[in-house]
Structures are given as structure tokens and as C-alpha cells.
Structure 1
Amino acid sequence: MQPKKKAILVALCVSVVLMLAKFGAYFLTHSNAILTDAAESIVNVLASSFAFYSIYLATLPKDENHPYGHGKVEFFSAFLEGCLIAIAGIIIVFKSAYNLIFPNIIGQLFEGAIIISATGLINLLIGYYLINTGKKHRSITLEADGKHLLTDAVTSAGLVIGIILIYVSGLVWLDSAISILLGFYIIYSGYKLTRRSVGGLMDESNMELVDKIVKVMQDNRKDPWIDVHNLRAQQYGADLHIDCHFTFPYYFDLNQVHHEISLIDKIVNTHVAHDTELFIHADPCLPGCCHYCSMENCGVRQHQFTGHIPWNTENATKNLKHFDQ
């Protein structure tokens, strides 16, 4: 079984077991704060189920209807997970606010705290496992599910502290107050996850990734690569697509241009931790390029070389040759 599928299947099975344990703790204590954690565990199960399906789709090969592959389904999976988290948080806040006014009887908090502590520790371990696997195999779905479980672990830790305070002080209203605070934290976590996934669905530039790509090109720059501009990067699951314009000497024939483009492709795929597909538009040099072109023995040079213009995110992403910027 593929590592990504194995990881999310482990998370799904564990989520089901932990959900049952948390609801057992709620029926034991009748605590709103514990119900908060149990309700979020339902989201864990639903999210992991859809995540498993989205990873299955993302691993399918490109086809006629999906020439860029199926990787973007992972952004949709993360979006759905973020929405489910936020909805769970909203329901928790309203339910807890009601019980703050009309409190219910709670008991056996010590036993409940032990159960929640155990589930929180397990979520912490599984969360780190998913995040590490997601980073290794470049899966936003696994990272999102892992971060969700880490959020759940933090929620459980806060919940255990709250249960201990209630147990020691005897202040029943703290149960609902703590639940409301945890509900707002859950809503914020859902918002952050949704915001990131919407950016991916809308092809928002990953500027950290663009910075890395430009740095790789700058560090491995060759004399015929006069400038690079109009660079854009889009991520489709684990795959990366880059399109840009490279300026080459205008007297290069197609074989020479093809050689340079193939070299750029090889260098980027060697240094960037994604399977990268490049679409490079070749531009011919103009007299204005001579000042920063270091081609030796150039028979058509009209101006002396004065020095390279360092490539950075600002000038590489503009749709202008560098002498126009």
C-alpha cells in the first residue's frame, strides 16, 4: 500500500476508536467540555474518510479529462475539513452558551479526564505522523489532517486542565465557559485551514516556493540564460507546474534553445522537492540586454557587459525583460 494511503487509513481507524472513547467519557460525566471534544472527533472521522478518498483520486495518473492530474482534489479535501471544523466549533459555542445559562449536572470528572488525556496523547502522536508523512510525500491532505489532530490534542490538553479546575473548585459553570473558549479556538483552526485550501483552489501563488525556484535558477545560472521573467508556479497536489519566459541569444538555433531549456528543467527537478513540469517560453535577446549579458565572443554585441542583474522574486515574476524594469 502507498505510504499516503497507509497513513490516512491508520488515522481513520484511530479516529473511530477515539470518537467512541470520547463519547463514552461524555456519557460518563455529562460534561459539555467533554462533549465539545467528542463532537470534534466526529469531524475527525468524516474528514479522514474524505481525505482517504481524495488521496486515492490524487494518486490516479493524468488522463484526457485531467491533463494536469487529479492533485487539486487535495485542496478541496482540506477545504471541506476546515469547514467541518468551523461548523463543529460554532455548534459547540451555542450549545455551551445555552448550558452556561441552564447548567446540567456533571460527575465522575476524574475518570473523564483520564480518558481525554489518553485520547489527546494518541492524537498528538498520529498528528505528527501524518504531518511528517505529508511533508515527505508532498500531500496537503495529510498535513491538513495532521494539523487538525494536533489542534484536537491541544483542545484535549486544555480540556483536561479545565476538568481538573472544575474538580478542585467545584465551579460547575467553568465547564461551559471552558467549552466556549475551546469552541472559538476550533473555529479559528477551521478558518486557517479553509483559507489555505481556498488559496490553492484559486491558484494563489506560493511565494515561499517561488522564492526557492528563483534562487535555484540564480545559483545555477548559465551565460546563455540572459534573464527570466513572468515566472508563475501552480501546485497540483504533489506536482508542481511552472511557466516562465527565458531570454536567450537571438542567434541560437532550435537545438541550442532546446538544450538550454532541458538543462533548466533538469536543474529545477534536481533541487526542488516536487515533481515539476516546466513550460518555458523562449524570448530572443534585444540590444537592451547587452548590458547584463555575459556571453563571451558575442559577434552581435552592441553594448559592453556591465554586470549581471541578480534574479529575485520581484524581477522574475514581472512580465518584462530586465532592461524594461
Structure 2
Amino acid sequence: MVGEKTKLKQQTARLSIISNSLLVLLKLIVGFYAGAVSIISEAAHSAVDLIASVVAFYAVKKSGQPPDGNHAYGHGKFENLSGAAEALLIVVAAVWIIYEAADKFNAAQAPAYLEYGIVIMLVSIIVNYWVSGRLLKVAHETESQALEADALHLQADIWTSAGVLLGLVIIKVTGWAWVDPAIAVIVAVIVFKAGYDMTIKSVRQLTDVSLPPEEEKLIIDILTRHSAVIAFHRLRTRRSGSYRLVDMHLVLDKNMHLDMAHAVCDQLEAEIKAELGLCDVIIHIEPCDYHEGFGHCPIPGSRNIRRQLF
């Protein structure tokens, strides 16, 4: 099952590489031929998407490898690292676009052969709409953060391409040369915003922020409705690529047989994985009188379940 998901992620990431390569080439040719900085800025944006696609491809390939002696928790963090790398590339591209646009403002001249630019922008919008939809679908199916980041980049490219398309049409109708660099600056702002958002998300993932409250609540609900669970504490959660890592201390009846306690843990792990998907769940078992404050062991099934903070 995991191997099939890894293969699907790699195939989808490869599709993004192919589409971005073609768009970069076409936009560069048309941009320099027409002398339109807005189209060239879009080529730079697509080039960033291409690099991001390559990074995402190798990230999902690496993250799909099983744990080894140096990576006991697996290689999921490679997907998180790819997000950080993509964020940096996006910011660099935004700065470069603004630099080119500012230089163009000083000697604004209406681009030639605008029809070619309009056609390539339409092609870019159609291709990116289809590829980003495919990426997002697979990202949700496999819970791949690398593919999700790649899909969001392409969706941003759709809007920037639409902006450039609108600018080219305006120049075609009015002859206003300043619209070309102005559209390029707007593109840069959108690109920079995408880079900023991705940076924040990457930092949170790399610093092991807890799972969202709604996901932790699902775990707590599973624990509290189980008749054998007396209390639990030290619930800790985080993400590593597509995997969720969960560990906790579970308080059970001190007279419970070991094989029964093991069966309870197996059942809880199965229910958590059924709710959240790919998980690595570690449960530390403690007898009910291990900590002070219980006084006596509650009767199993009495619903006297507590979440302790220690």
C-alpha cells in the first residue's frame, strides 16, 4: 500500500517536471522574441516551479524509503525540507522579477508580437490548471506535502498568467507600454506572498509543531471511548512528511494481563491509523497506581477516564 502511494507520488511529480519544462521553454522564446518583461517574468516563475517540481520529485522518492540505521523514524522530513527549498527559490524569483521590471520602467516600450504572448499565456493557464488539479488530488490521497506545495505553486502561476494575459490585451488595445512592467511587479508580489507562506509552513513542520487541534481531538476521542483506558498523559504529536508520529502514556488496570494490555494497544493503534491515515503510534503502558493521586484503580468500564498533564 505504502509502495503504491510512493510510486503514484513519483509519477505525478514527474508529470509536473515535464509540463513546467515545456512552459519555461515556450515562455522564454516568446518573451525575448516579443520583448515583453511580463512574459519573461512568467518564464522565471515557471522556472521556479520547474525547480520546485524537481525538488518535489526527489523528495517524494527519498521520503518513500524505509527507515534505516541513520533514519530510525523514516525519511519523511525530506518532503518538509523540499518545501523550505521551494520557498527560498520563490522569494529569489520574486526579487529578480522586480529588478527586471524596475529596469524596464526606465525605458518602457510596447512589446512586439503580442499575439504570441497572448497565446502562450492561454496555453500556460490551461496546462497548469490541469496539472495542478492532478497534483492536488494525489497530494490529498497520499498526504504528500511536497506535491501539495508544488500544486499551490502551479495554482499561483495560473493567476499570474491570467494577469499577464490581461496586461498584454490592454497593451494591444491601448499601446500603453508601462502596463508591461507594472504587470510584472504584480506578478512578483504574488510570487513573493506564495514564498512567504511556504516559508512559514516549512518552519512549522521542521520544528515539529503538533498536529492540528482537530486531529489531536480525534486521537483523544478514540482514547476516551475505549472501556479499558483509565487515563492517559504525555500525548505528543508531530508530522514527518506524509507520516504522523504519535506517542503517549496510557494508564490501564494494574491487574490486566500483559497479552490483554497488548491487545488494547493494538486496537487503539488501528483505530488511530483508520482515522488519520499513515501513522507511527508508540504507546507506553503504566499501571493505574503508578502515579500518586489515583488512590485506587477505577473499575474498567466505569467511564472514570482522565487526561493527566504530567
Aligned partner of 2:219 among 213, 219, 222: 213
Secondary structure class of the residue paired with 2:247: strand
Matched ranges for 1:67-106 at <5 A: 67-106=72-111
TM-score (norm 2): 0.90
Residue identity matched to 1:160: L
Describe the superposition over 1:180-214 as per-residue Cα deviations: whole angstroms up to 9, x where unpaired.
11101100101111221221111111214323333
Relative to 1, partners in 2 of residues 1:290 and 1:181: Cα closer, same or farther, differing over 3 Å? farther
The CA distance in 1 between the partners of 2:245 and 2:180, in whole Å, is: 50
Matched ranges for 1:92-131 at <5 A: 92-131=97-136
Q: Are the counterparts in 1 of residues 12 and 135 from structure 2 also a CA contact under 8 Å?
A: yes
Relative to 1, partners in 2 of residues 1:154 and 1:98: Cα closer, same or farther, differing over 3 Å? same
Describe the superposition over 1:14-44 as per-residue Cα deviations: whole angstroms up to 9, x where unpaired.
1111111111220232111111101111112
Aligned partner of 2:254 among 250, 253, 261: 250
Instruction: Name whichever of 116-125 and 226-235 sits farther off.
Output: 226-235
Structure 1 stretches lacking a partner, 5+ long? 297-304, 321-325
Residue identity matched to 2:267: L
Q: Are the counterparts in 2 of residues 5 and 55 from structure 1 also a CA contact under 8 Å?
A: yes
In the alignment, structure 1 residue 181 sits paired with structure 2 residue 191: no
Q: Are the counterparts in 1 of residues 110 and 175 from structure 2 also a CA contact under 8 Å?
A: no
Q: Are the counterparts in 1 of residues 223 and 229 from structure 2 also a CA contact under 8 Å?
A: no
Paired positions, count: 302
Residue identity matched to 1:100: F
The CA distance in 2 between the partners of 1:215 and 1:244, in whole Å, is: 14
In the alignment, structure 1 residue 162 sits paired with structure 2 residue 167: yes
Q: Are the counterparts in 2 of residues 231 and 242 from structure 1 also a CA contact under 8 Å?
A: yes
Q: Are the counterparts in 1 of residues 94 and 191 from structure 2 also a CA contact under 8 Å?
A: yes
Residue identity matched to 1:212: L
Alpha-carbon offset, residue 292 of structure 1: 11
Alpha-carbon offset, residue 153 of structure 1: 1.0
Query: What residue is the counterpart of 1:235 in the other structure?
Result: 239
Query: What residue is the counterpart of 1:281 in the other structure?
Result: 284
Q: Are the counterparts in 2 of residues 127 and 146 from structure 1 also a CA contact under 8 Å?
A: yes
Q: Are the counterparts in 2 of residues 28 and 112 from structure 1 also a CA contact under 8 Å?
A: no
Secondary structure class of the residue paired with 1:246: strand
Describe the superposition over 1:129-159 as per-residue Cα deviations: whole angstroms up to 9, x where unpaired.
0111111112111111111111111110111
Aligned partner of 1:263 among 250, 264, 267: 267
Aligned partner of 1:21 among 14, 26, 34: 26
Q: Are the counterparts in 1 of residues 254 and 297 from structure 2 also a CA contact under 8 Å?
A: no
Relative to 1, partners in 2 of residues 1:213 and 1:159: Cα closer, same or farther, differing over 3 Å? farther
Alpha-carbon offset, residue 278 of structure 1: 1.3
Q: Are the counterparts in 1 of residues 83 and 202 from structure 2 also a CA contact under 8 Å?
A: yes
Relative to 1, partners in 2 of residues 1:217 and 1:128: Cα closer, same or farther, differing over 3 Å? farther
Secondary structure class of the residue paired with 1:231: strand
The CA distance in 2 between the partners of 1:98 and 1:293, in whole Å, is: 76
Residue identity matched to 1:215: D
Q: Are the counterparts in 2 of residues 96 and 180 from structure 1 also a CA contact under 8 Å?
A: yes
Secondary structure class of the residue paired with 2:54: helix
Residue identity matched to 2:270: K
The CA distance in 2 between the partners of 1:105 and 1:157, in whole Å, is: 19
Secondary structure class of the residue paired with 2:232: strand
Alpha-carbon offset, residue 83 of structure 1: 0.9
Q: Are the counterparts in 1 of residues 90 and 192 from structure 2 also a CA contact under 8 Å?
A: yes
Query: What residue is the counterpart of 2:138 in the other structure?
Result: 133
The CA distance in 2 between the partners of 1:128 and 1:238, in whole Å, is: 19
Residue identity matched to 1:148: H
Secondary structure class of the residue paired with 1:206: coil
Structure 2 stretches lacking a partner, 5+ long? none
Residue identity matched to 1:319: L
Residue identity matched to 2:263: H
Instruction: Name whichever of 107-116 and 180-189 sits farther off.
Output: 107-116
Aligned partner of 2:55 among 50, 57, 71: 50
The CA distance in 1 between the partners of 2:238 and 2:262, in whole Å, is: 23
Q: Are the counterparts in 2 of residues 216 and 271 from structure 1 also a CA contact under 8 Å?
A: no
Residue identity matched to 1:260: V
Describe the superposition over 1:98-136 as per-residue Cα deviations: whole angstroms up to 9, x where unpaired.
222332441222321111111121011101101111111
Residue identity matched to 1:228: F
